[in-house]
């Protein structure tokens, strides 16, 4: 169950197109006069990435974990929570005094851990035919 071949290595950050009012109306342009179109796309380039990413080996390891048994998938689904356990609302006499936001997004490998839990749940549902509603 390898999902890494579904990922796109080059992500377009921004793209936009501008056509003047008269050029947008006509679909054909004279051969001597090119359309006045401004087009720009910015791609993530390796030069923008930091030269040393200390967590990249951990991310790759988490992404390359293969779910191979039902017991392993059950363990992963029980160990990784479905929602952030740190999110809280402090209430006094029924009124919310303080709300602590979910702090899991501060985890640098949050996306990989959530993807691992999702792959484990998919393995249980698709390969093993197990009801996964207790894990949702």
User: What is 56-67 written as a DSSP string?
Assistant: HHHHHHHHT---
- What is the residue whose two structure tokens read 């839990």? 117
Position 69 scores a pLDDT of 92
Asked whether residue 20 is assigned to any structural domain, the reply reads yes
**Is the separation of the CB atoms in 66 and 1 below 8 Å?**
yes
Segment 5-35, tens digit of pLDDT: 444 444 444 444 444 555 445 555 455 555 4
| Cα–Cα distance for residue pair 105/78, rounded to 1 Å | 19
Asked whether residue 120 is assigned to any structural domain, the reply reads yes
Asked whether residue 1 is assigned to any structural domain, the reply reads no
Asked whether residue 64 is assigned to any structural domain, the reply reads yes
**Is the separation of the CB atoms in 82 and 136 below 8 Å?**
yes
Enclosing domain of residue 130: 8-135
Count of domains for the chain: 1
Asked whether residue 52 is assigned to any structural domain, the reply reads yes
DSSP E strands in 1-62: the ranges are: 12-18, 38-43
User: What DSSP character marks residue 19?
Assistant: -
Segment 59-86, tens digit of pLDDT: 999 999 999 999 999 999 999 998 888 8
Asked whether residue 2 is assigned to any structural domain, the reply reads no
Asked whether residue 3 is assigned to any structural domain, the reply reads no
| Cα–Cα distance for residue pair 27/102, rounded to 1 Å | 50
* pTM of the model as a whole: 0.58
- What is the residue whose two structure tokens read 């999702």? 118
Contact partners, residue 127, CB within 8 Å, separation at least 6 = 1
């Amino acid at each position: 169950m390898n999902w890494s071949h579904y990922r796109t290595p080059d992500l377009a950050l921004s793209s936009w197109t501008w056509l003047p009012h008269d050029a947008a109306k006509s679909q054909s342009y004279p051969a001597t006069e090119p359309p006045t179109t401004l087009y720009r796309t910015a791609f993530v380039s390796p030069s923008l990435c930091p030269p040393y990413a200390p967590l990249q080996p951990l991310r790759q390891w988490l992404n390359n974990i293969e779910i191979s048994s039902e017991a392993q998938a059950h363990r992963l689904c029980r160990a990784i929570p479905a929602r952030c356990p740190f999110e809280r609302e402090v209430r006094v006499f029924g009124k919310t005094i303080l709300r602590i936001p979910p702090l899991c997004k501060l985890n640098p490998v949050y996306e990989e851990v959530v993807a691992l839990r999702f792959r484990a749940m998919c393995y249980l549902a698709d390969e093993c035919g197990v009801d996964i509603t207790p894990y949702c």
